[in-house]
Copies of this chain bind each other. A is one copy, B any other.
Amino acid sequence: MTPSARGDLFDPACPTRRLLDRIGTKWTSMTVKILAEAAPDEVRFADLRRRIPGVSQKMLSVTLQSLVRDGLVSRRVEATVPPRVHYRLTPLGASLESALAVLRTWAEEHMADVDQANQESER
């Protein structure tokens, strides 16, 4: 068996898995949400950092880079000193936000049920 055979066999057929790998990372959904709320305005790096409690500079940078690479977010640099960098959802990112909004609604409506189920399991 080739080294890649086991891992590649079922993955390519599952775009959902790949989507979840992206939005499942710790800071992605919050970042997208903030950018969506600000849209169509841009948001600066420092603003994002302030509005995402607990995110480190590195992880916000990594998260935004991924979103930009994926075409979900656009990046604009003001060539000043010091530089200002602005981020904004692309149309593709905005369409993802719609899907994420459905998840948020479900979470707000039903996570209490999930919590209750967990408490009942403990007994």
CA distance A99 to B114 in the complex (A): 15
Using A110-B95, A117-B70 as known contacts, say yes or no to A29 and B54 having CB atoms under 8 A apart: no
Chain B residues, CB < 8 A from A98: 106
Residue of B whose beta carbon sits closest to that of A13: B53
Number of copies: 2
Contact between B71 and A117, CB atoms less than 8 A apart: yes
- Cβ contacts under 8 Å, A79 to chain B: none
A58 CB-CB contact with B under 8 Å: no
Residue A20, interface by CB 8 Å:
yes
> A residues touching B (Cβ–Cβ < 8 Å)?
6-7, 9-10, 14-24, 26, 29-30, 53-54, 68-72, 92, 95-96, 98-100, 102-108, 110-111, 113-114, 116-118, 120-121
* A92-B69 in contact (CB<8A): no
Can you report 7 A-B residue pairs in the complex whose CB atoms are below 8 A from each other? A9-B53, A9-B54, A10-B53, A16-B104, A16-B107, A19-B103, A19-B107
Q: Closest approach, in angstroms, between the C-beta of A106 and any C-beta of chain B?
A: 4
Contact between B114 and A92 (Cβ–Cβ < 8 Å)? yes
Which single residue of chain B is at the shortest CB-CB distance from A92?
B113
Closest 7 CB pairs of A and B: A71-B117, A24-B24, A15-B111, A15-B107, A10-B53, A99-B106, A19-B107
